[in-house]
């Protein structure tokens, strides 16, 4: 995932790697359930009909007799499609917090209107999935092997037998590329890409990118660190592999870069003990905002509180798994641009 994700459990270690450890071979892309009567056109809200095909980032083309209506997706992918007017029937992945509220990765989706197949790593109810009569499964991929994110290794074959899958790569590329791929997918599903809400969001994204580029150029000496917190360790992510950080770097942002020799979990990040959290000098710290990571306000480590950026109040959230709609990515650019504009050199 874009990731440096927090891990105080082995499972979180897997997540921190952004899938780099691999969950197994990719799901079969094409099923034999073409033309299934979904009983609803909610998936293709734009009213598009007729044969449907989409070539995903594995190079696999999914072909169906009609536009998918019963769509099941990883929560973040479902949230992105929702922003384009496509309502999915079911989701899997972080959807509800322990308090029962929508997880940050659910975006604006009304989670009461979707069937949750699993809310955590390794959870995926095949029975619920089958009951939705899925036309297609949509998720992201965090490696170059085509591994479908959050699809359990032990049940991937059964899942693949129920519907074809579409994988959008979020590995080792800049944010704009998967954003365009999700746009293409939404358009193929019948979304109105000329709607004012959609075109306005894209324009706001472009404006935010220009603002971030200008802010980075104005303060080239400021160092930004991307971190993630767990009980025992602090993770420092390098820009390589992560779609958000690669894009921010291309816009001129100056990041802390752990040496390749220090990285683990497929090259996503370096793990530090809390005693060594001051290894790198940083003026701004971007912290993992996912529910699996400890949030800055809840970090009690004395070494954390002594960091110059923390003492200066120059800590902002980071979304290592961006919701791939322009609307949801605007704040990622704006927050960092504003932080750079306001920040002082403290390292």
pLDDT at 94: 98
Place of tokens 């509800």: 96
pLDDT at 266: 84
pLDDT at 193: 98
Beta strands in 77-164 (DSSP E): 90-92, 115-118, 136-141
Return the DSSP state at 102: B
Closest by CA to 105, choosing from 336, 332, 320, 274, is 320
**CB within 8 Å of 112: residues ≥ 6 apart:** none
pLDDT at 48: 60
Give the residues of the chain that fall short of pLDDT 50. 1-47
Closest by CA to 57, choosing from 164, 163, 175, 182, is 182
**CB within 8 Å of 224: residues ≥ 6 apart:** 248, 253, 254, 255, 256, 282, 283, 284, 285, 286, 336, 340
Give the DSSP per-residue string, 270-327. Answer: EEEEGGGTTSS--SEEEEE-STTSPPGGG---HHHHTSHHHHTT-EEEE-SS--SSHH
Q: What's the mean pLDDT when you consider all of the chain?
A: 89
pTM for the whole structure: 0.87
**Max Cα distance, the chain (Å):** 61
Closest by CA to 16, choosing from 238, 327, 283, is 238
pLDDT at 107: 98
């Amino acid at each position: 995932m874009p990731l440096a994700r927090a891990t105080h459990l082995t499972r979180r270690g897997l997540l921190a790697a952004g899938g780099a450890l691999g969950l197994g071979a990719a799901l079969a892309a094409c099923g034999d359930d073409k033309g299934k009567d979904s009983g609803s056109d909610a998936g293709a809200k734009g009213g598009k009909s007729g044969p449907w095909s989409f070539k995903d980032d594995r190079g696999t083309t999914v072909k169906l007799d009609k536009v998918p209506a019963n769509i099941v997706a990883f929560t973040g992918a479902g949230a992105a499609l929702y922003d384009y007017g496509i309502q999915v029937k079911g989701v899997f992945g972080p959807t509800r917090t322990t308090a029962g509220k929508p997880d940050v990765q659910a975006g604006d989706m009304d989670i009461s209107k979707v069937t949750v197949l699993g809310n955590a790593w390794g959870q995926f109810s095949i029975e619920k999935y089958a009951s939705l009569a899925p036309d297609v499964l949509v998720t992201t991929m965090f490696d170059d092997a085509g591994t479908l994110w959050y699809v359990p290794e032990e049940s991937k074959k059964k899942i693949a037998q129920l519907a074809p899958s579409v994988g959008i790569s979020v590995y080792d590329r800049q944010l704009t590329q998967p954003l365009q791929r999700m746009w293409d997918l939404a358009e193929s599903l019948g979304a109105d890409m000329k709607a004012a809400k959609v075109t306005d969001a894209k324009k706001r994204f472009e404006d935010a990118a220009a603002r971030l580029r200008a802010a980075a150029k104005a303060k080239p000496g400021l160092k930004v660190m991307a971190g993630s917190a767990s009980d025992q360790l602090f993770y420092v992510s390098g820009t390589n592999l992560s779609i958000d950080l690669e894009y921010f770097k291309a816009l001129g942002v100056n990041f802390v870069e752990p040496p390749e020799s220090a990285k683990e979990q497929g090259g996503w990040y370096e793990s530090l003990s809390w005693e060594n959290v001051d290894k790198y000098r940083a003026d701004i710290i971007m912290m993992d905002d996912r529910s699996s990571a400890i949030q800055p306000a809840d970090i009690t480590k004395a070494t954390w509180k002594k960091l110059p950026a923390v003492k200066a109040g120059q800590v902002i959230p980071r979304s290592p798994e961006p919701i791939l709609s322009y609307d949801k990515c605007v704040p990622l650019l704006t927050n960092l641009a504003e932080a750079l504009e306001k920040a002082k050199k403290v390292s």
